[in-house]
Chains A and B, each alone.
Chain A
């Protein structure tokens, strides 16, 4: 399975943009890039996903490198509520069932400084 590499931790000031990097040099052409985050003492929650083009939604933006070997999750204006562990995940197809499973790494722990 293709793997992802993320920094263990990052800090950012409140109300400033945050760029969370992810390397996935062995990504295959059909792998989607998913981002989830896990707030303290909660289950993970979906943030965003993409394949080749940059993506925006109400929570964040996803910038994908042209060669798809890396991506960056962008939080445009961090708040204290954004303090969480952020997981960059490549979707793995479960070919016999035609569905998918997510393989979580250890993620990046984001600390927001007031």
Chain B
């Protein structure tokens, strides 16, 4: 079974600064995807960024980037130039390529302070 661990229940950052959220996972699979989802107070799950395990290059989406270390099974999210609208719960997720079975970490509550 796959497990996803987010060791930071809560984090805060000043507006315009950079913050990194940690995520580690455990799997015996070789083909999989990793995701970061944002869940604002509306509770809608919003995809932030996605990484294919077979790609060595770290994914980037505007202010969001990841540090994917496959051997270490680590997948951290860096948010640059933090904005007030980034305040939300952030979930790291693992998905097997074979069957789209997606598992989530416990989440990190991020607060961006003005």
Partners in one complex: no
Which B positions have Cβ atoms within 8 angstroms of A? none
